[in-house]
């Protein structure tokens, strides 16, 4: 089992280590169960009232599939898993992140923001120019967690591009809903670092 090169970021009192989970780790039942449990526990609070009672956000089987597809990155601090995110390349040529979670015990320490930075960097390394994500929102009432996410994503540069109906995109999951939902699609253009000028400020030909 070979993990991808690490991405490290230090916050006050916390070193966050983020890596893509190797595809063969989908066979690691302990890891798969831990990630599934983390996702379910976070979304049980973040999406309370959106799903019928007892509906899981994911399952160990689904998590194993995503790991095998090379789509899951995990964040660790002090060798403990403190967050995760799904990142993938869409057929449209865009990057997409989803299933973003941070351990409640480490909320406010930058785990979520660093996972997004990691997903954005992963997409840039593959030549993708846009990162998108989906946020589920109730049609008929305001959900506190979703309003928080709306403001948070806006602060880090994500803008709404369109809104769709949940049952149109995920008809197989519609019977599991506790309330009608919309899907708010957010997007951000990915900035690429500018090339450095040669030492001494020399300009290349044509400048």
pLDDT of res. 198: 56
pLDDT of res. 7: 53
pLDDT of res. 201: 47
SS3 state at 72: strand
Q: What is the CA radius of gyration of the chain?
A: 19
> Smallest Cα–Cα separation from 31: which of 89, 100, 92, 81?
81
For the sheet with 7-11, list strands across it. 7-11, 14-20, 72-77, 80-89, 95-102, 130-138, 181-189, 159-165
pLDDT of res. 202: 43
Range name among 11-25, 85-99, 133-147, 179-193 with the lowest pLDDT average: 11-25
pLDDT of res. 10: 52
User: Within a 13 Å sphere around the CA of 91, how many CA atoms are in the beta-carbon half?
Assistant: 0
- Residue 202 CB neighbour total at 10 angstroms: 8
pLDDT of res. 50: 98
pLDDT of res. 203: 40
pLDDT bucket at 15, cuts 50 / 70 / 90: confident
- Per CATH, the homologous superfamily of domain 7-191 is Gcn5-related N-acetyltransferase (GNAT) (3.40.630.30)
Can you give the residue ranges of every domain in the chain?
7-191
d(CA 168, CA 135): 15
pLDDT of res. 193: 64
pLDDT at 102 over 60: yes
Per 3-state DSSP, the chain is made up of helix, strand and coil in percentages (nearest 5) of 35, 30, 35
């Amino acid at each position: 089992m070979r993990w991808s090169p690490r991405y490290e970021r230090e916050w006050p009192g916390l070193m966050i280590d983020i890596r893509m989970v190797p595809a063969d780790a989908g066979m690691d039942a302990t890891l798969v169960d831990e990630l599934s449990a983390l996702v379910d526990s976070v979304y049980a609070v973040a999406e309370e009232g959106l799903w019928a009672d007892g509906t899981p956000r994911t399952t160990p089987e689904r998590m194993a599939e995503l790991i095998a597809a090379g789509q899951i990155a995990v964040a660790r601090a002090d060798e403990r898993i403190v967050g995760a995110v799904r990142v993938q390349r869409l057929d449209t040529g865009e990057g997409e992140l989803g299933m973003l979670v941070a351990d409640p015990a480490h909320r406010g320490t930058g785990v979520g923001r660093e996972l997004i930075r990691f997903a954005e960097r992963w997409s840039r390394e593959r030549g993708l120019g846009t990162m998108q994500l989906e946020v589920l929102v109730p049609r008929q009432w305001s959900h506190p967690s979703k309003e928080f996410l709306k403001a948070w994503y806006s602060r880090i540069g994500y803008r709404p591009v369109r809104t769709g109906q949940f049952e149109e995109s995920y008809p197989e999951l519609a019977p599991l809903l506790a309330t009608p939902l919309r899907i708010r699609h957010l997007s951000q253009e990915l900035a690429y670092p500018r090339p450095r000028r040669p030492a001494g400020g020399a300009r290349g030909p044509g400048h």
